[in-house]
């Protein structure tokens, strides 16, 4: 069956229908990961968006339900060059086509995703429609596309009531340190799948209690803490600071999540209260942006965002570069950052945008990228250990100044900040698409 992707600038891509048979309007974004499409599908941060995978073949290892980052997919639609309909992987439970259909997610395959990605990089993220209907008059569609907004999606994806993720009490309870990569027919028939290897070698969080604010948290955030021995209580996004503090956590985590951080007005007010305590706080992605807004900084929307598993970030204290997994369309504006409150701790090597903050005189540090990403680069998993160390020191009465190690490097950072990457110019190698043209 034919399917069409219509963008708000009038561009039309023609392809083949995949997944559920429904029409959707969404924000069209792209992800550059070569693998990890299941984690993309089930990442709550994609709520309100339709995702284009730039890697040309998607679905070749199928779907392993054990690897899902939440209980269901949250994106509105899925866009690929080629969809593999016959997966080959001994951990596979279901094909990606059946998974999309099962969860009522529509998609389109067979389009030139390279041209689409170039167009989004050149013009910026746009709204679009995935449909099987062939519109003869685009003016019937374009006003609806331009009017679309993702809205308050955090309230849509957060958990409905608090729950506890129990800590690991013995390293043997974690996944193996190395995978066997061996097919066991009897276990496969019984529905048992080989677990992915764990990198955790020490229960350094044993005895610690972490409060995790769920703004759209990926499952592996709580798992990363529990695997290190922390007991994790997960709270709905609109939980009051008073309720969290009543449970006396040793540390607080602010999770990733979807949408514009400035939409989360009431949440920001509660984060202000948490910030005023001496409890160590570690924030990821949306949580990083919300903490910045709560302390007087500002955020702005990127032209096309950072989404993929190959983004280099530089630790400004050591100069070391890590490869990170990212999924965000907004960033903290360091030009409006008060250095008496916080200083940059990480920057994006590609475009120089902010990737982390350390707060002055506080047990608070935040990052824009995903240290829990799995699969994907796990270079920055040590940040969970840094958070645990901060909690240990706070319990011992040692006040930690998260910004101290970065403050002395502010001047050097400003002198060595990488120049932003310019947007690709039109030309022979760029997508040349006119309004209403079908690709």
- Residue 328 appears among annotated catalytic residues: no
C-alpha 359/C-alpha 403 separation (Å) is 5
Burial class (CB in 10 A: 0-12, 13-18, 19+), 161: exposed
Yes or no: domain 156-168+203-407 corresponds to CATH 3.40.50.880 = yes
Domain range 2-150, its CATH number among 3.40.190.10, 3.50.30.20, 3.30.70.1380, 1.10.3720.10: 3.50.30.20
Q: What is the pLDDT of residue 249?
A: 98
C-alpha 430/C-alpha 425 separation (Å) is 7
Angle among Cα 226, 229, 231 to the nearest 5 degrees reads 60
Name beta bridge partners: 326: 308
Name beta bridge partners: 347: 314, 354
Longest dimension (CA), the chain: 69
Q: What is the pLDDT of residue 188?
A: 72
Q: What is the pLDDT of residue 343?
A: 96
Name the active-site residue from 17, 311, 328, 370. 370
- Residue 69 appears among annotated catalytic residues: no
C-alpha 355/C-alpha 344 separation (Å) is 8
Low-confidence ranges of the chain (pLDDT < 70): 176-183, 194-198, 374-377, 405-439
Q: Answer whether 2-150 and 156-168+203-407 agree in fold.
A: no
- Residue 285 appears among annotated catalytic residues: yes
Tokens 């924030």: give the residue: 283
Name the active-site residue from 64, 285, 347, 374. 285
Domain boundaries, the chain: 2-150, 156-168+203-407
Name the active-site residue from 64, 288, 372, 374. 372
Enter the pTM of the model.
Answer: 0.89
């Amino acid at each position: 069956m034919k399917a069409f992707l219509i963008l708000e600038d009038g561009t039309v891509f023609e392809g083949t229908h995949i997944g559920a048979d429904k029409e959707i309007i969404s924000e069209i974004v792209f992800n550059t990961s070569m693998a990890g499409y299941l984690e993309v599908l089930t990442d709550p941060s994609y709520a309100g968006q339709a995702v284009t995978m730039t890697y040309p073949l998607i679905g070749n290892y199928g779907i392993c339900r054990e690897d899902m980052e939440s209980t269901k997919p949250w994106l509105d639609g899925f866009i690929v060059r080629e969809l593999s309909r016959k997966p080959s992987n001994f951990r596979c439970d279901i094909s990606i086509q059946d998974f999309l259909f099962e969860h009522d997610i529509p998609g389109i395959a067979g389009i030139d995703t390279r041209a689409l990605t170039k167009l989004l990089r050149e013009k910026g993220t746009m709204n679009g429609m995935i449909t099987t209907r062939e519109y003869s008059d685009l003016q019937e569609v374009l006003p609806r596309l331009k009017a679309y907004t993702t809205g308050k999606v955090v309230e849509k994806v957060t958990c409905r009531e608090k729950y506890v993720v129990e800590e690991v009490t013995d390293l043997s309870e974690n996944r193996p340190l190395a995978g066997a990569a061996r097919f066991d027919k009897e276990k496969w028939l019984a529905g048992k799948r080989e677990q992915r290897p764990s990198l955790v070698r020490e229960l350094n969080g044993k005895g610690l209690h972490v409060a995790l604010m769920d703004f759209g948290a990926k499952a592996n955030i709580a798992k990363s803490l529990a695997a290190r021995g922390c007991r994790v209580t997960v709270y709905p996004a609109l939980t009051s600071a008073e309720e969290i503090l009543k449970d006396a956590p040793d540390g607080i985590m602010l999770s990733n999540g979807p949408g514009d951080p400035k939409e989360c007005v009431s949440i920001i007010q509660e984060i202000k209260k948490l910030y005023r305590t001496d409890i160590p706080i570690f924030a990821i992605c949306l949580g990083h942006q919300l903490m910045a807004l709560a302390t007087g900084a500002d955020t702005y929307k990127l032209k096309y965002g950072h989404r993929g598993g190959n983004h280099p970030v530089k630790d400004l204290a050591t100069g070391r570069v890590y490869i990170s997994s990212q999924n965000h369309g907004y960033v903290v504006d360091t030009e409006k950052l008060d250095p008496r409150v916080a200083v940059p701790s990480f920057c994006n090597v590609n475009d120089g945008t902010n990737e982390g903050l350390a707060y002055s005189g506080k047990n608070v540090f935040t990052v824009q990228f995903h240290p829990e990403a799995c699969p994907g680069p796990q270079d920055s998993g040590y940040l969970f250990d840094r958070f645990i160390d901060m909690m240990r020191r706070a319990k011992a009465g040692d006040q930690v100044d998260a910004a101290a190690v970065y403050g002395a490097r502010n001047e050097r950072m400003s002198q060595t900040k990488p120049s932003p990457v310019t947007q690709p110019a039109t030309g022979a190698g760029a997508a040349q698409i006119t309004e209403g043209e079908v690709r």
